[in-house]
Amino acid sequence: MATDYLLPDLGEDIEEAEVIAVHVHAGDRVERDQAVIEVETEKANLDVPAPYAGAITAVHVSVGDTIRPGQAIVAIEAEEGVKPSSPAVSMTPPAASAPPAIEPDAAPPAPPAAAPAPPPAAAARPPGAATPVLPSDGGLVPASPSVRMFAREIGVALGEVAGTGPGGRVSIDDVKAHARLMRSAAAPAEAPEAPRRGAAPAPSALPDLSQFGEVERERMSGVRRTTARTLSQSWAQSPHVMLQRKADVTELEAIRRANRERVAAAGGQLTMMPILLKVVAGALREFPRLNASIDVASEEIVYRRYVHVGVATDTDHGLIVPVVRNADEKSITQLSIEIGELVGRARDRKSTLEDLRGGTFTISNLGGMGIGFFNAVLLPPQVGILAVGRAEQEPVWTGSEFEPRLRMPLAINFDHRLIDGADGARALAWICETLEQPQPYMLEEFPESETGAED
């Protein structure tokens, strides 16, 4: 008998995805883990694999459909001896960050004031239910896709819910009971919660533009929707401060040109980006607050012990920021190779979620487009971003004469809630001075050499 296969939890709090390819038809035979559809999420494109081998008896989705975890996508008749299942596991590793905070205003209404709140133990599980069991190994919380979707919709973090099912499996009743507990635990005299500080204002309705002439509508892609939401949140929540300075990269450019072929032979491309990334990674170690984040709910600063630097990348389908992990531990040659691979996958729409997760700081380089200084927007929960412009020859007074020098405009944007102006100035000065005196970074890897051939 055929069984509907439900879209699994896609991870990273992804609530919906758009079908961009259907790889099977009714009557096709599939192997376990064979891709049945491809979806575009707000973070990356993903193949959805078959959970077991069998025959496709029906396809429930089409290209262009928007689907959610827990929704049927195909019907599969399992081969003889294969037990059908529709696992509710995440397709991606669980995020390292803490679960999202519960929003009290999204929970069900509190019981009437006349009814006393039940004791936590009684409310946490229905009568006769087994003792709740929570996962002890830090793994995924066992729950069906429909339960996960319901918990997301009412703002409950599954990791905080006591499951009463076999092996600690969480049911919808468990989620509702937990939401009621959280609501009843609030002080009765507490005033209604005001809108969250820093929350982006609700978008206003667009006027009817067709009254002025012909219009055409196009649905925003998942990448564009994510960009709009994330940057609106950043601009509303983080007080941005920008500092600017030019770095003299004359000597650095000479070393770069002299070693391009060496790096090309290793499979990389020695542009300014891997050099900038190496220097910025050093700055994040020198100024750890630039590598940190703010936990507003607990009023704590979270210092990361790792350095993962994002590279803002222009693609045909929008802005993508692939992340170079542990950038401070890699050579410039290694960074140049990895940047090329990450950017290539981003532009080919082949980025994985792992390519895009965990960034601690971002570099945005518009120098190749002829841009000088510009203002970049932070990517929350990061508190810093470096904007890099086009380096140009400028006359510089040496004390006795003007000398042509190659100078690169740099601007650092930071979250003033965590980074003071003087701290930001010191960090930018450190980056500029390191670029101007590159030997400690460059000569660890490249021998001192004469200026290479002109570009």
Q: What is the DSSP letter of 44?
A: -
Other Cβ atoms closer than 10 A to 205: 6
What are the percentages of helix, strand and coil residues in the chain, rounded to 5? 30, 20, 50
Q: Which residue type occupies 132?
A: P
Cα torsion 264, 270, 271, 274: sign: positive
Three-state DSSP class for residue 6: strand
Do 354 and 287 touch, CB atoms closer than 8 A? no
Is 416 known to be catalytic? yes
The pair phi, psi for residue 401, each rounded to 5°, is: -160, 165
**Could you say which of 240, 308, 317, 416 is catalytic?**
416
Q: d(Cα 291, Cα 284) in Å, to the nearest integer?
A: 6
Which tokens hold the place of 182?
A: 């959280």
Output the CA torsion 195→200→203→204 (10° steps). 70
Per-residue CA distances from 362 to 352, 377, 409, 420 (Å): 18, 10, 16, 19
Residue 404's contacts (CB-CB under 8 Å, 6 or more residues apart) are 393, 394, 395, 396
**Distance between CA atoms of 200 and 233, rounded to whole angstroms?**
5
The residue whose two tokens read 């009817």 is 208
**Active centre residues (catalytic):** 416
